Amino acid sequence: MARGSRSASDERSRCEAPVKEFVGFAKGLIAARSERRLQALAEGPDAEPFARRLIKEALSGAAHAVTCLILIGRLAQDPSWAAKLDLRDAAARLPLADKVHPKDLEPVGRGLLAISRQQAVPWIAGAYLVEDKRTPTDALEKLLLEAALTTHALAAALDQALGAMQSKGRRISESTVRRSIDAIEKHARQLAARNHRAEDGPLMQLAKAATPTEAGRLLAALLLASAATHERAPGAAARPASAAAPKTGLPPAATAMAEAAWSDADEALGRALQDMDFLTRSFDRLESAAQGELADPARRAKNASNLVLQWVQEAARYRRVAILNKAGDRVPFNPAVHELDGKAGIGQLIRIVKPAVVRGSEPQQVVVLRAEAELD
């Protein structure tokens, strides 16, 4: 048998080998001198089966998953391998971050990011908050900022991680709160820089010079000012709750443009309604975790946010925009209303992750935002 054929046969047999042998094979491919071997495997007929097996073992929840995720993180840097790392048919059981050796947290998180950003961001956030002096927090923070596409997604992931810590009876330390806020601030600054927004305007300079208590007062004042922009002018007549876009007497094209603007406003309003529970939980956790001189500004920020939420609810009533169901509800699947992570038949019970937003009532109800749901 030719050497090339024998080598291909060996690779195929290792792809189908028992777990221990396959993981040993994968571990050998992590070595610095394995580039040629990886290239040959990528160009051969066994690349796809190897990638599928690698993902299966990486998401098995077993101890060897760490080795497989580290290899995936390395493979993802090669476009020929990155295209083969497909999660669609894989059931995911992620390794527990507090059971992974600190030096492996960043490469494991990078491997997970290569196959599923949705699952990677909360996992990396949890790893970032692991309280171990040996944890490479700088590398994890860099990866977390890279993984979260929006600052809100980052805040949600950190909120989920903090909630998981509390559910396990772990105290949230001031350093953990500080690191969470640092990450959110850095992410927001990065987005501002990419969008060419000034970071050193008057308000930013004021915030930098303020004491923690004064910064809390500034945040509260800005939130109140934001809410006040929605107030009606004194003496203005209130519009009925059933009002839609105001009648303007404009030509049809202008009216259509106005209606499109109202639709955009309704969608933005709907997203605010969807995130109200998240915002409330976040401020509750911040208030319970803040101590010393941070306690008063945290309480002020929470009170200001409650006022803003009241204005959001009033605007929603005016536009007849409302939440349909709530997070955790089990409802029959309707593709017109639900965006599902997975496959389900119409009428099959699913669990609401983020509720749908609708405008109006039956039979003329319009779905503004579909719900995010998962299989029950």
For 314-338, what is each residue's pLDDT tens digit?
777 777 888 888 888 899 988 888 8
Domain-embedded: residue 199: no
Q: What is the dihedral of CA 205, 207, 211, 212, to 10 degrees?
A: -160
- Token pair recorded at residue 367: 């779905």
Shared-domain flag, residues 190 and 216: no
Domain holding 254, by residue range, is: 211-228+244-319
CA atoms within 13 A on the CB side of 236: 8
Average pLDDT, the chain: 75
Residue 90: pLDDT band (50, 70, 90) is: low
Radius of gyration of the chain (CA): 25
Shared-domain flag, residues 43 and 119: yes
Domain-embedded: residue 200: no
Shared-domain flag, residues 97 and 216: no
Range from 13-22, 39-48, 258-267 carrying the lowest mean pLDDT = 258-267
Q: Would you tell me how many other CB atoms lie within 10 Å of the CB of residue 206? A: 12
Shared-domain flag, residues 255 and 362: no
Domain-embedded: residue 78: yes
Residue 246: pLDDT band (50, 70, 90) is: very low
Domain-embedded: residue 139: yes
Read off the pLDDT of residues 36-75 as tens digits, 9 standing for 90 and up.
888 888 788 888 888 888 888 888 888 898 998 999 888 8
- Token pair recorded at residue 143: 């990866």
Shared-domain flag, residues 65 and 182: yes
Residue 1: pLDDT band (50, 70, 90) is: very low
Shared-domain flag, residues 283 and 144: no
Per residue in 295-326, is it b (16+ CB within 10 Å) or e — as a string?
bebbbbbbebbeebbebbbebbebbbbbbbee
* C-beta of residue 73 within 8 angstroms of C-beta of residue 54: no
Of the three residues 300, 319, 338, the one that is the final residue of a domain is 319
- Token pair recorded at residue 347: 């009428």
Residue 13 in this model has a pLDDT that exceeds 50: yes
Shared-domain flag, residues 306 and 347: no
Mean pLDDT of 75-88: 76
Enter the DSSP assignment of 374: E
If you search the block for the tokens 């160009």, which residue do you land on?
A: 43
Domain-embedded: residue 188: yes
Counting every residue written for the chain, the total comes to 376
Domain-embedded: residue 204: no
Share of the chain above pLDDT 90, in %: 7
Instruction: Tell me how far apart the alpha carbons of residues 333 and 345 are, in angstroms, rounded to a whole number.
Output: 7
Distance of CA 160 to CAs 167, 172, 180, 196, 309, Å?
Answer: 10, 13, 12, 30, 21
Shared-domain flag, residues 220 and 290: yes
Instruction: Tell me how far apart the alpha carbons of residues 177 and 46 are, in angstroms, rounded to a whole number.
Output: 47
If you search the block for the tokens 């929006």, which residue do you land on?
A: 150
Instruction: Tell me how far apart the alpha carbons of residues 296 and 235 are, in angstroms, rounded to a whole number.
Output: 37
Q: Positive or negative CA dihedral for 170, 171, 176, 177? A: positive
What angle do helix axes 117-128 and 105-115 make, rounded to 10 degrees? 160
Shared-domain flag, residues 151 and 263: no
Range from 116-120, 259-263, 277-281 carrying the lowest mean pLDDT = 259-263
Shared-domain flag, residues 371 and 284: no
Shared-domain flag, residues 138 and 190: yes
Instruction: Tell me how far apart the alpha carbons of residues 49 and 54 are, in angstroms, rounded to a whole number.
Output: 8
Range from 29-33, 91-95, 192-196, 236-240 carrying the lowest mean pLDDT = 236-240
Secondary structure element (H or E) that encloses residue 146, with its range: helix 137-147
Distance of CA 126 to CAs 99, 160, 255, 257, Å?
Answer: 12, 8, 49, 44
Domain-embedded: residue 336: yes
User: Phi and psi of 368, rounded to 5°?
Assistant: -80, -45
If you search the block for the tokens 């119409």, which residue do you land on?
A: 346
Instruction: Tell me how far apart the alpha carbons of residues 56 and 76 are, in angstroms, rounded to a whole number.
Output: 16
Shared-domain flag, residues 182 and 135: yes
Beta bridge partners of 321: 359
pTM: 0.52
**Total of domains in the chain:** 3
Domain-embedded: residue 234: no
Beta bridge partners of 350: 331, 375
